[in-house]
Structure 1
């Protein structure tokens, strides 16, 4: 018991540890999975946003490129002086172009010296030379197609936002350089677009040239940025020049970001889109925070409940330790309560038996008693002893203090035999009705436990009727069974034993608790609540079930269901045992009995039958005799209940030491046997007769000789 209590406390401790460790482990696993999932989702968002930024940049540059090509066609082959003469018309055309394209700040046509022939800003244009601008001198020596310049500040008298140039070379018909057509593109146009599509916290966009010059940046910067091609960003782009996804600290501000990049078709331009890794982690934190909002209180509540359960269990076990000496009395107090009701009837029966024995002994002591009367008195004593032994056996079975063994018996017959005992138990003010089946209803169960369960149900019914009313016992083959037995029903089904009363009934709120141990509605000192729990345990252990139907003020019906057995398994009724005693024929018996009077009785009786008897009063000395010379004895006959080593301990020791002498045990009461059984040893129940004892010893010795002969 103490070991079980320690195990329960240890289990609660492990459950408390698990209530923290398991959620933490699950949280760590879930966090890892969630972080991976959050990062994958972020990567997909970056890819989608990058697709939008790439398509936008491609369309912008294609539109500008196409517009420049159209302007180039307009002025192709026209001398510069003709272009100047058409300046007002060309100015209006350039202005319409820049007005229609919000990404353009201005459009220009330059001659070979870098002077502005026409632009969309002023008409006529000021006499300024722009040959030092990269969008101009990049085309002087060779035709490089469309050129995209670096961010520039407008040159006075022109004002406004910074820009970068997109330009194309003007060639003469013979291929000579005659000037440049240029469009000034606003970086803020891209940055404004990026601000619209990058509304998520931590969003990032950049557009730059392949040499590292950044043309547009979001969030906006107050300075120009040029990335080192040999730096971390340049190296990672060089490893996958067309497109990729990288995590890097951005050089302009040092913030770590998850960035996707892609080259814009044939243009020497990259567009990038990304998210700050802190923003990705913030998303993850938000997701995990939602789990923690529910998980932490739930875990804390579970831990608190387990802690309270642990503390409560400690308290209950401490209380149980203080009451350990009375525990067995508590377990059987309900049966003792019923025995208290039976005390008057049992005392009456025993006094009648003792009166018969005492009178017969007195009459036998008279001189010159006729033989016929002497035999009659002897027979009366023997009958009284047999009736007393039967009554004792019933009481031990009721108290569950004898060896419990399942057996096949007829419920109807057993109920009929219990009628008188139930009448005594319930009292004269209760009318008993028994409805028993005409055909046998066999079960395989412990008969003693069955009787105890029946008495418990009857006692419960008596108390519900306050000692006055009607109780009906009904035995029948069950036509329906509880749901818990639906998958157990075999070909024979179940036997139903119903106990119905006319008592006060059970409130609906208490029906779910009546089979719980120690639950009772009786006053303190009038019941322990163990009776119906014994019925429940017996039913479940026997493969059956117990149910209750009740209505307040209308009474209750308890139904006990037990598996039904086929008729052919019923043992054949044996004739009364009147076989004569078996002579010993020199059989040597080691008798162990601590009661000297009973020991002498057994020894004298067996000696007269020819047995050779060695008498010992304790098991320790008997084991010493066997160790010295076990061959002297054919059989060991030992009482079970003895101080120190019990008879069952002795039998186990003989078996463990491989001493080849069979053991026969005897007892009238043994809690050890009621709990553990006889462990395969022969048992003679007290009180026994010399004839019965001689037959068991003779049979056991003979079986040993047959076994030893076969071994030889």
Structure 2
């Protein structure tokens, strides 16, 4: 109930936040899409307008070029004297040409000295030299075809608008220079055309030569403009000489514009059309403003309604606040009681073990101790350490934080091998019934943890029957699985390998329904204070969950209980070859070089002393950085690296990965009592020794790691 109230309040808060965040996010997305769309539309408009401007300019230049070619044919082969003699008739022809083409101001025929033989403005033409004009001297030295000059001002006595020249060379029959035919083109003709087609706000047009000289400009300029070839415009055109689009601050006024440009066929002329970016943004803002007119009131109304619902819900829940506080206080008290129960049980068990160890150590220190008694006390210490390790493992198993060592094994075979031990554990007054399947039931799990879980369930059943009764063990392939496994791989039996189910049933007193939901809690036990920690079934629960399975219980008071442990089943072909148990004694080092990395000096000295006595060559460092430095100096110096996992700075697992990543050949053996990283991600393929370990066990694993290295080295050769 309390959770539902909190969730409803939180849901309203999320809805209030979403009522603002979602419209804002949608508006931001829509604004981005709209801005991109507006830019695309503007680019298409610019391209269409540029098509019109380009087509217009091309026709103008082709018309003038064709007229110049016709005039050149008219006067081809005529000496200057004959042209002067025919000047009146030629004047009228040039005047008709200029009058018929509104883009022309005048047309001219010059001799080799730059003097006008005929023009369309005056007859006869004044005795002036135009040899200093670019449209004339550009043709003197070589034939360059049609030349388009820069904007010029009429020379007195001629008056009128500015112009730029478009000229062709006059050649004699032998190809020598004899004069120029020129047409004066009006920039204002182009600017007037641009004004007609550029009716949108922010429209822009320009026409200029390839060298940066601007011939026509809209909006009109009161001065000449020449663009720097090394500037942004020049660099863009150089990169894409035929056509292109760019966004740039135009040099004449500094206004940022989106421009398209295109070269006019074979002429060294570019036309450009564009829009001011501020005009494009204005279009976008106008579009978004229409959305805001409707969106803001709707969003505000929705937010106010949710705020009212939140206030109302909060007011209703305030009435139950004191009751919730009282419930929380009660639960807190219960937690403290359970924690005290757990602490008492763990402290009791550990103190018993420490007492055995302390007493054995004291007895070992007595003089004249017989070998039989010394061996008995050492065995008692070893057994106490093993029981302490199992207790720690149970704590970690419940928390699902122990580092598992999964292996593929047959549950039926493992159950059969435990039969004698279970019989001894449960006592002669308890009858054991075992039902095993005919087919292999393979699982991939930690075999030691599995055995511990099985013993814990059996011990729990024995206590429930007060040491007398019947316990049934059954192994089978699960045909149905608990609901909690339905979402896991294998939860749907027909499409996977399914699960193996281990069923443990007893004829005990049963579990009341009120306690059934708490039996896997470590804070809960039906035993008297000081007689156990309640971690047995907790270990079963933790092992099952961490192995990808589940454990369930059904019980009825007076009828006994049934525990079902589900583990994921694996195919039969994954079963490895049987290996002999590792009962060999400690292996001599024979000079094997081992780098020991351990920050705990006492533990480091223990490992170093024990290995040294076995003939190993030991180098001891207390952190991973120094270990890496030792390995970098001489990568072949060490046969094995033995490192603790939990260390300040770089952990042992990080050290092992660094050694592997750098290609250092020394194998790595890790050791830990508990590691968060290993519990979550595993040992990443490295050898692992669980603390507490013996020197015998350590020597076996070091030799195995070194042997694998030699095998890999031989294969590489």
TM-score calculated relative to the size of structure 2: 0.47
Max Rg structure: 1
TM-score calculated relative to the size of structure 1: 0.47
